[in-house]
Structure formats: structure tokens, C-alpha cells
Amino acid sequence: MPVLLPSSATAEAHAMVSVSSSIARPSSLRLLPLPAPRFPPVASKCFFHCAASGTTTRVCELKIWMLEKLKWRKNFRTHGWEKKPRMLQVQDSVEETTSNSEVAESSPPNVQTIIPKYLESSIESSSSSAYGNSVDRAPSLCIAVVGATGELARNKIFPALFALYYSGFLPEENMFLAYYGVLLSLLFCHSETLVFWLPSKTLLALMVGLNVGIFGYSRKDLSDEDLRNIVAATLTCRVDHHENCGDKLDAFLDRTYHINGGFNNKDGMKKLNRRMEQIEGEHEANRIFYLSVPQEALLDVSVSLADNSQTKRGWNRIIIEKPFGFDALSSYKLTQCFLSKFQEKQLYRIDHRLGKDLIENITVLRFSNLVFEPLWSRTYIKNVQVIFSEECGMEAQGRYFGHYGVIRDIVHSHILQTIALFAMEPPVSLDGEDIRNEKVKVLRSIRELNLDDVVLGQYKNSADKSSCYMNSLTPTFFAAALYIDNARWDGVPFLVKTGVGLIKHRQIIAVLLLDQVEIRIQFHHVPGNLYRERICHNIDLTTNELILRDQPDEAILLKVNNKVPGLGLQLDASELNLLYRDKYNVEVPDSYEHLLLDVIDGDNHLFMRSDELEAAWNILTPILDKIEENTVVPELYEIGGRGPVGAYYLGANHGVRWADD
């Protein structure tokens, strides 16, 4: 049966025919015709879709060559010419690795091994790469989630990693390895015996084909399959990511492994290191460790990790969940312990709320729009309000009444980091260190808080109409007036209000916010306003405002005054709005996806540096000390309200009308 060849394979096919016809056969042997293959013609069925240019043609050529070898080897075996397969060693030229005596016994004379020229160089590259030599391969990436069976890992971290994998942000297999791995599997499918052998180095390179590995580390006795079942229960494809979702999900789970660390983290981290090395081979390798563990276990885990699980053939990055200590002293001790084992550039202190698009929009809106940058100072801005409300769920109750409180959980990182990004001077560049240098200047310039500038609250337990503060004084509401003592913001109050179960303002029906944050910039009144008499009696209602709103109704709003259509001259305050759901027909990625991608890329501008951490604690520790001394008693408030009444008077004392009043 004729075999159709691509044009680029013609020369090599002629070479195979000429060599094959020159093979000497015993005189007593009659040449038998080869049986027809049990599979379709090669050229018409070579449908492989790869990214490399000319891949389809090369796959066809290689497959044709392999099948020709298969026919001759099968003929040799039928007549007893060859008892053992011969190993091939690919060097500058193709040679047989067996001794002369072995060749004489096991193979017919004058038999030569034929390998297409493009395959010679590829196999040589693969063979050398298995032992760490120079090769054009992207570094592998291993991501370990320590505390893999916890709620955070199951509901947030693993889904975020899968979303990144699906979207192509995690390393894929090496093109060469995946390319020839498919071909080897093809031979296995179409022949009872594999008759084409590669050297052991090449086989090792073919087997080490994964460029990414996801590792779950816990104390539970689970198999890889057990962890995959746990993870699979929380993985879904986003609305705009449904193509090949099942295939991608299976591929992701195949790269997920479990490590039983037991109760000795030193031994557990050694096991993790050995398992990672199996994925990495001898190539360049990078590692990320996500420490999703309780505060009391953080030091033991981090020290064991530093001593036993870091790679020496790439970078290591450590993700640490908040809270970063409980006060200035405990945070300092924790930081010193980390810096004794890691470099500052390795540490990524994560607050998932900083991964919201709103946070990135603060700097984009200011530094990329000429209309706003000149206004960003005390000359034009009267006050800034940062309003945050979290859903009143069991998770929030567990954090707040577990002695963390709203100050440690939200204010210390999320609120202060938001203010720092908003108020910082223009950085030298968008490099993470340049941005963090400017943020820490803002934090160090914030005036020390007094009790008169702070309102603490605690919501009532609606289940039995009794107050939770009978058993705990941990606040669930925090409001404060902050001042930044520098030339740009001198005298401008930054009012903060954050808590659990606050009402969503500007709605007729009370709706509880679901982790929503809003930043309102109120500008000064127009000096000598010509239209003052045409404005309603309360001039504050016509103040220009720039509003940045986060999920679930992402928007940028600009409040301006305009003329009402019709006869006469009547002014009205209206909003120019950019609603994300109307403008952009895409699903907004989860904040964990954003921040994990930043860690992979080495972008650390949304992660707190040690000096930022210290400056933030210096602002809040005096208030925390007063709470610990029972000097301050939180004011009670109802779920679905605007918080304690004291917050209203706080705004009035600083000449600010809250946006939700």
C-alpha cells in the first residue's frame, strides 16, 4: 500500500528505502510481503495541533519514519534475525550503543539506524536537559498550599490556582516533551511491542514533562486521589471560561498531589521537597509556599520550610496570611523571625481585599488622567471617606469574636493600605519597591490616634436579643478620623468607617453589604459660586464628589452640578457613571487570582513590607492597648443600621457629612 509523504519528508523517506534495500539477507530466506497496517494511512490522519511552526508536518514525518522502522523490525523478528532491541545513543552522529559482539548476535549485518535530522537535535537537547545541561525550557513552578484541607484553601486558594491554570497563567508542559510524549503514546496504541527505543536520558526527559505542580500539605492521612476529590468539589469554570472546562479540570487535578506532613514539620517539609524534586528534575525550578495556617503554627511551619523545602535552582516566595501579629511587639518578633530565615523580597503578606480592581483603579485613575492629578491635594479635596462593610456571616463572627477584631482584621492592612495608595506621592516607577517606598512615607506621616477620634461598636446578637459583648469586648465596628501630616494632605480628614452588617446606603430597602468598599472624595465648594442662589438650601448636597465603588456593583461615579432641562434656571446634582457591568461584559476575577498572579510575576506592590507593617501597628497599637485594658467599651448597634450613633458625631466634629447619612 503506498504511503503518502509530506514534501519535507521525501528526502528522508528515500534514505530509508535505500538503506532498507541494502540490508543483506540470508540466502535461504525468502522476502515476504509486509502485511497491511491495522490503522489508516499515516499522512491522511496526522492531525496534531501544536503551537510550534511546522509542527504538523514534523509529526507526520516522524510518524512515517517510526512506522517504516516498525515494519522492518517486525519482519526481522518474524524470521528470527533480532532477539533484543538495540539502544540508540544520539550524539553528533547516530551510533549503536551495544558492543560489536552483541550486534553480531542480535541484529542483521549492515543495518543502520535512521533518525530525521530535526529529531536528532531535539532528542539530543532532551537528553542533555534531563541532566541539567543547557536547554531552552521554561523553569518549572511548584506551588505548595500548607494547610490544604482548611476552609480558605478549599474555597479560595485552590479555585484561584485552577482559574489561573485554565487561563494560561501557570507554566505549561515543555513543548518538546509534550510533543514526543504524544508520539510515544501513539506507538503504544498502534503496536503490540514498542520497537523504537530512546536512550535512558531521553526517556527520563520525556517522563519529566510537567512544568507545574500543585501540592497540598496537611497533617491528614490522605492520598493524592483523596485530595483531588476534596479540591474538585469546589472547582468551577467561570461563565466566560467554559470551553474544554472538563479537560482542563482533569489536567489540573492530575498535577495536584498531597503531602502528609504529620506532626513533625521538619520531616514533613523534607517529604515535600523530595516530591517537588520529582516534578522539577534537574531543571531550573521556582517554588511558592502559601502558609494558610493558624498564627500559633506559623513560626514552626516557616522555620521548617526555610531549612528543608527551599529550592536552590530558582526563587522561593512565601505567602503569609493576616493577621501579621496581634500588636506592634508581637508583629516585630514575628518579622524578625521571618527575616532570619528569608529575605524581605521573598515575603508576600497577603490581604485578599487588596486584590480588588478598586485598589488598582486608585492609582490608575489618578496617574493616567490629567484631569485628576492636579486636584489630588488639600487645595481641592475637602475630605476622603473610606466606607467598608462585611457580610454578617459565621466566618466574620469567628474572626472578630476570636480576639482578632475588626481593627486587626480589616483596618490594619486593608484600610490603611488603601489610604496609603490613595495619598502617596507619585512613585519613581511602577516597580513594587518604588511604590512601597511611597506608601510607607504616608503611613509614617499619619498622626497618632486619640480616643476622641475613634468610635468602637459591636453588633447585637439578633438571635436571642442579647449582646455579644457580655462575653467579649472585641469590636465589630470601627470609625476614626485620620490626618496625614505632610505638605499635600495637611488638614484633610480621612474618615474611616468599617464593620459587620452595615446598611447599604442610597437604597430605599435595607440591604446588607457583601464585602463592599467605597471611597468617596469630596471636593471644596466653588469659591464665590455664581449659582449659589440657584442651589438648594443645603449647599453640601451639591458638593462635587468622585466615588470609587467595589463589588458587587463596581463603578466610578463623578457627581457634578448641571442645569435641569426646561425654562428657567434650576440646578441639579447628577452622577456621571461608569458601571462595569454595562461597560465590560466580563466576569471579574476573584481577588485571590489577582494576588497569586502578582506573586508568580514577582509584583509585590500590593503586599506589605516589614517597615509598612511596623508603621501600621504604631498607628493602631495605642487603641488596642486601651481595648485590652477595658478602658473603652464598644457601643452596640443593630444589624442593618448605619452603625453606632457616635460615628455620626465623629463626622460632625470634623466637619464631614457621611455619605450614607
Lowest mean pLDDT among 384-393, 433-442, 479-488: 384-393
C-alpha cell at 570: 434650576
User: What SS3 state is found at 429?
Assistant: coil
Residue 246 makes CB contacts below 8 A (sequence gap 6+) with none
The neighbour count for residue 476, using CB atoms within 10 Å, is 28
What does the alpha-carbon distance between residue 614 and residue 271 come to, in Å, rounded to a whole number? Answer: 35
Q: How confident is the model at residue 282 (pLDDT cuts 50, 70, 90)?
A: confident
SS3 content of the chain, % helix, strand, coil (to 5): 45, 20, 40
Percent of the chain with pLDDT over 90: 44
The neighbour count for residue 434, using CB atoms within 10 Å, is 13
Residues 331 and 347: beta-carbon distance below 8 Å: no
Q: Which fold has domain 354-463+471-654?
A: Dihydrodipicolinate Reductase; domain 2 (3.30.360)
* 493-500 vs 381-390, strand pairing mode: parallel
On the question of pLDDT at 522 being above 90, the answer is yes
- Chain segment 201-254, per-residue pLDDT in tens: 344 434 444 689 999 999 999 999 999 999 999 998 865 666 778 888 999 999
177 Cα distance to chain centroid: 26
The larger pLDDT score, comparing residue 77 to residue 41, is at: 77
Instruction: Look at phi and psi of residue 496 and say left if phi exceeds 0, alpha if psi is from -120 to 50, else beta.
Output: beta
Q: Nearest 10 degrees: CA dihedral of 199, 200, 202, 208?
A: 160
What does the alpha-carbon distance between residue 458 and residue 379 come to, in Å, rounded to a whole number? Answer: 37
- Which long-range contacts (C-beta less than 8 Å, at least 24 apart) are formed by 6-15? 6/43, 6/57, 6/60, 6/61, 8/54, 8/57, 8/58, 8/61, 9/57, 9/60, 9/61, 9/64, 9/65, 9/116, 12/61, 12/65, 12/114, 12/116, 12/117, 13/64, 13/65, 13/68, 15/114
Q: What is the pLDDT of residue 66?
A: 56
C-alpha cell at 103: 550486534
Q: Nearest 10 degrees: CA dihedral of 633, 636, 641, 644?
A: -40
What does the alpha-carbon distance between residue 389 and residue 514 come to, in Å, rounded to a whole number? Answer: 7
Residues 596 and 160: beta-carbon distance below 8 Å: yes
Strands annotated E in 339-446:
347-350, 381-390
List the CATH code of the domain at 140-189+199-321.
Answer: 3.40.50.720
Helix (H) or strand (E) holding 126: helix 117-129
Q: What is the pLDDT of residue 424?
A: 97
- Cα–Cα nearest to 446, from 585, 612, 294, 324: 612
User: What SS3 state is found at 111?
Assistant: coil
- Cα–Cα nearest to 449, from 621, 326, 614: 621
Quick one: three-class SS letters along 332-344?
HHHHHHHHHHCCH
What does the alpha-carbon distance between residue 521 and residue 425 come to, in Å, rounded to a whole number? Answer: 17
- Chain segment 365-424, per-residue pLDDT in tens: 999 999 999 999 999 999 999 998 876 654 545 454 456 788 988 999 999 999 999 999
Backbone angles phi, psi at 535, to 5 degrees: -90, 150
Please report where in the chains the cell 463589588 appears, as a residue. Answer: 551
Backbone angles phi, psi at 471, to 5 degrees: -110, -15
C-alpha cell at 369: 488622567
| Highest mean pLDDT out of 244-253, 453-462, 567-576 | 244-253
Q: What is the pLDDT of residue 139?
A: 85
Q: How confident is the model at residue 136 (pLDDT cuts 50, 70, 90)?
A: low
- Cα–Cα nearest to 292, from 327, 265, 331, 319: 319
On the question of pLDDT at 313 being above 80, the answer is yes
Strands annotated E in 420-540:
454-461, 466-467, 477-483, 493-500, 516-523
Q: Average pLDDT over the chain, rounded to whole?
A: 76
> What are the boundaries of each domain within the chain?
140-189+199-321, 354-463+471-654
The larger pLDDT score, comparing residue 383 to residue 100, is at: 383
On the question of pLDDT at 535 being above 80, the answer is no
The larger pLDDT score, comparing residue 568 to residue 179, is at: 568
- Chain segment 580-638, per-residue pLDDT in tens: 888 888 888 899 999 999 999 999 999 999 999 999 999 999 999 888 887 888 898 88
- Read off the pLDDT of each residue in 354-371 and give the average, rounded to a whole number: 92
Angle at 473 between CA 467 and CA 476, to 5 degrees: 75
Residues identified as active-site: 414
The larger pLDDT score, comparing residue 545 to residue 183, is at: 545
What is the b/e burial string over 231-268, where b = at least 16 CB atoms within 10 angstroms of the residue's CB? beeebebbeeeeeeeeebbeebbebbbbbebeeebeeb
Which residues, listed in sequence order, are joined to residue 88 by a DSSP beta bridge?
Answer: 96
Tell me the chain's radius of gyration from C-alpha atoms: 33
Q: What is the pLDDT of residue 63?
A: 53
Q: How confident is the model at residue 497 (pLDDT cuts 50, 70, 90)?
A: very high
The larger pLDDT score, comparing residue 461 to residue 113, is at: 461
Q: What is the pLDDT of residue 137?
A: 65
Q: How confident is the model at residue 99 (pLDDT cuts 50, 70, 90)?
A: very low
Residue 398 makes CB contacts below 8 A (sequence gap 6+) with none
Which amino acid is residue 107, in one-letter code?
S
